[in-house]
Amino acid sequence: MDNPILSSGTAYGELGPALRTTSPSVAGSAKPKRVSAKTERLIGELGLRYRPSAQADLAEHAASLALLATDVADIPPDYLERAINEHVRRSPYMPKASELTALAQGYLPRSIGKQTDTERLQCQVEHGNRHLREIGRTDCRWTAEGGSLKLVDA
């Protein structure tokens, strides 16, 4: 199913690679973030659920959805889908990338057997980095710092 909101003829396609993110570490870089097809579909459907008012500029709405898709491209699509489903049941407002990220982080595996906190955190890092490799991201990686997960430049 083609998504007219995220198709290449809309404002999303007109944005240059450097403008497809609000992340300062990636903005202006030569490598644009790769957004999986499932993430694009999920964000497109989110845009249909939270349609702008009649007075709003549809091209601007499409561009904001494109930015959102790029900003959440690092989240595994299955976790993103769960985060979106939870958000739409709780809020009448379009979510920000930070809200979806926080929800998705809550779905990371909490306990696997009798692992220590350090082992569990390392498992989460490996899972996240595996996902980044699957979507072709080589510009960043997950790491464990101070007992929490952080996304850092590679």
Pair (44, 103) in one structural domain: yes
* Total domains in the fold of the chain: 2
* Domain coverage including residue 55: 1-107
Nearest of 91, 68, 92 to residue 80 by alpha carbon: 68
Note whether 33 and 43 are same-domain residues: yes
Q: Are residues 34 and 102 in the same domain?
A: yes
pLDDT at 31: 58
- E strand or H helix at 151: strand 148-153
2 and 42, same domain (yes or no): yes
pLDDT value at residue 51: 86
Same structural domain, 93 and 123: no
User: Do residues 25 and 62 share a domain?
Assistant: yes
Write down the pLDDT at residue 57: 84
Asked if residue 86 and residue 13 are part of one domain, the reply reads yes
Residues 6 and 76 in one domain: yes
Region label for 10, one of left (φ > 0), alpha (ψ between -120 and 50) or beta (otherwise): beta
Residue 82 shares a structural domain with residue 101 = yes
Residue 58 has what pLDDT?
A: 87
Tell me how far the alpha carbon of residue 86 is from its chain's centroid. Answer: 15
Q: In whole angstroms, what is the distance from residue 83 CA to residue 115 CA?
A: 26
Cα separation of 31 and 58, whole Å? 27
Q: What is the pLDDT of residue 24?
A: 45
Residues 99 and 140 reside in one and the same domain = no
pLDDT along the chain (154 residues), means of 10: 50 45 46 84 94 84 93 92 94 94 81 65 85 87 86 85
| Residues with Cβ within 8 Å of residue 72, at least 6 apart in sequence | 39, 43, 80, 97, 100, 101, 104
First to last CA, the chain: 34
Residue 109's pLDDT is: 65
Q: Are residues 124 and 102 in the same domain?
A: no
Residues 76 and 147 in one domain: no
